Amino acid sequence: DTGVSQNPRHKITKRGQNVTFRCDPISEHNRLYWYRQTLGQGPEFLTYFQNEAQLEKSRLLSDRFSAERPKGSFSTLEIQRTEQGDSAMYLCASSQDSSEAFFGQGTRLTVV
Amino acid sequence: AQSVTQPDIHITVSEGASLELRCNYSYGATPYLFWYVQSPGQGLQLLLKYFSGDTLVQGIKGFEAEFKRSQSSFNLRKPSVHWSDAAEYFCAVGPYRNAGKSTFGDGTTLTVKP
């Protein structure tokens, strides 16, 4: 078990461009979560999946954000028309059912 | 709505000294409580968790935490701090049926003096 894996680790993009991040959860975990963390703050919940179904989305997840988990394994988080305010660390976590979540190393997004 | 308050933004302790990081929470039902640690540029590592049972829970790296329902607190402690403990510490509260969907505090940064 290699833990939760996120790619890329760092992404620099120009304002207005689209970006996509990938998360590979722990293999036997059926739930997958996305969080956003800005400097000096704790992580904030964005959305979560149980298997391939997206069960909840935070109000933080604007229309420019979309997440998928097509086969109930890896997940992608896409941000369209990036803005400087999207600069943050995007964290993925996974769990088996209702147990505690295990986090990946995160993807650091910088929008210039 | 659930919330977590970590009153201390930054704490400095000497190596070998004891440590206590404070956490207060607000939650309408029985909380699932966690402490995570984060090194710079890294993800979060779970130190310990509490849902029920003994209110003093032991975690990894020599950390422990005590749940006090009457005070809505879940403070993290370590008897003797090592230089490698320098990091940011986050307290979190989540629903029992979906512990992964947690609300986090804003963290406490720990600096360890030699």
Residue with tokens 């206590």: B20
Helix (H, G, I), strand (E, B) or coil at B61: helix
Q: What value does the mean pLDDT take over residues B28-40? A: 90
Cβ <8 Å between B107 and A91: no
- Would the pLDDT of A1 be above 70? no
- Which among B74, B52, B51 has a CA at the least distance from the CA of B63? B74
Run of H or E residues at A57: strand A53-57
Contact pairs from chain A to chain B, CB under 8 Å: 63
Q: Which residues pair with A78 in a beta bridge?
A: A20, A66
Q: Which of A6, A38, A57, A3 is nearest to B107 (CA)?
A: A38
- How confident is the prediction for chain A on average, in pLDDT? 94
Mutate to test the interface with A, among B5, B102, B106, B108 (most CBs of A within 10 A): B102
Tokens matching residue B55: 């209110």
Alpha helices, H only, chain B: none
* pLDDT tens track for A7-43: 999 999 999 999 999 999 999 899 999 999 999 899 9
β-pairing, B32-38 vs B3-5, is: unpaired
Q: What is the pLDDT of residue B109?
A: 97
Question: Does the beta carbon of B93 lie under 8 angstroms from any beta carbon of chain A?
Answer: no
> Residue A60: what residue type?
L
Shortest distance between the Cα of B37 and any Cα of chain A, in A, equals 11
CB–CB of B105 and A42 under 8 A? yes
Name the residue in chain A with its Cα closest to that of B33. A100
pLDDT tens readout for residues B55-112: 999 999 999 999 999 999 999 999 999 999 999 999 999 987 888 889 999 999 999 9
**Alpha-carbon distances of A111 from A8, A11, A39, B62, rounded to whole Å:** 15, 8, 14, 39
Task: Give the integer Cα–Cα distance in Å for B55 and B75.
Answer: 11
Question: What CA–CA distances, in Å, run from A106 to A14, A47, A84, B36?
Answer: 20, 15, 18, 15
SS3 helix, strand, coil % of chain A, rounded to 5? Answer: 5, 50, 45
Do B106 and A56 count as a contact with CB atoms less than 8 A apart? no
